[in-house]
Amino acid sequence: MSQKNIVSIEDRIPKLKQARKKKANRRLIFYLSIFFFLIAIIVYLQSPLSHIKTINVIGNSYIANDDIIEQSKLTTETNIWTINKKEIESLIVGDPLVESVSVERSLPWTVNINVSEHQIIGYLREETTYYPIMANGEILEAGQDHFRGDAPLIYGFDEKDHLDRMAMELEELPENILDIISEIHWKPTDENKNNILLYMNDGYIVKGTIRDFAEKMEVYPSIVSQLDPEEKGILHIGVGAYFKSFDEEETDDDIDPEVEVDLEDSGH
């Protein structure tokens, strides 16, 4: 073996010491990094940096953003990592107008509250108070002192069963038709308790029944589009569908003379 390839132990010891020192330094830097990282996390969690800065309420139409945020009990003092999403959801879904809710974190400082509401299909008016009626027929106890105009006024439904059925039919109506209904009056007779009378925002009156109302009402736009806009009258959608002008002779059953349309309340 050539002498040039022989390395003495004395020559290798400094290199081994230097390699061990570098390895020890790297290990020390690694542990220090972890230590300071953990310290930074603790400081972050204990500081306002981890507090919620923005609360977004999404999907609500009837309930105000502030009311939903108040129900959630979230504030800008709340640590975003300590929120209990299931608990917050249970608080908000307690509102009778809320059908479902989900809460999501959006880092670094935002919480999104996604709300799905029950549809309001009408309002019961008692003196100067308006009580929302939901699609399931339930009437909210918390009335409003003003009419929002986002659903028709509903009168005369003294029997809960008929109100529930009317609510189900209104829920099935296309939104563009529901939006032009101003008032719905229940007009039961001994022969037919399902009779209803509707006042429309476009000046027409509809006479029909609760049974299959949504299906029969789908013809309304097509029929009205064929009428002279200057000629108003009553559209009958019971057995078949036909139109009678106000200028034609009407029987007492066509329009109740005691029913007066309050334009200020019923306009959408």
pLDDT given for residue 75 in this prediction: 93
Do 113 and 79 belong together in one domain?
yes
Per residue in 201-212, pLDDT (tens digit) is: 999 999 999 999
* Residue 172: alpha-carbon gap to chain centroid: 17
Distance CA 228, CA 216 (A): 21
Same domain, 153 and 212: yes
Show which of 75, 95, 117 is a domain's final residue: 117
- Asked whether the beta carbons of 218 and 238 are under 8 A apart, the reply is no
> Nearest CA to 214 among 237, 197, 193?
237
Within a domain: 220: yes
Q: Please report the pLDDT score of residue 91 as a whole number.
A: 94
**H/E element holding 255?**
none
Residue 250's pLDDT is what? Answer: 52
Residue 240 tokens, joined: 């078949």
Q: Is 1 within the bounds of a domain?
A: no
- Residue 5 confidence (pLDDT): 55
Cα–Cα nearest to 129, from 150, 151, 145? 145
Eight-state DSSP code of residue 48 = G
What pLDDT, on a 0 to 100 scale, did the predictor assign at position 10?
A: 55
Domain boundary among 100, 117, 134: 117
Same domain, 147 and 254: yes
Residues of the domain holding 95: 49-117
Tokens representing 52?
């919620």
Count of domains in the chain?
Answer: 3
Q: Flag whether 103 is in a domain.
A: yes
| CA–CA gap between residue 103 and residue 68 (Å, rounded) | 12
218 shares its domain with 249: yes
Q: What is the pTM of this model?
A: 0.66
pLDDT, tens only, 98-149 = 999 999 998 888 999 999 998 889 998 888 889 999 887 888 887 888 888 8
pLDDT (0 to 100) of residue 56: 96
Q: Tell me: do 158 and 131 sit in the same domain.
A: yes
pLDDT along the chain (268 residues), means of 10: 53 67 78 80 73 93 91 92 92 90 91 92 88 86 82 91 92 91 94 93 93 91 88 86 74 43 40
Half-sphere exposure of 194 (CA within 13 A, CB side): 11
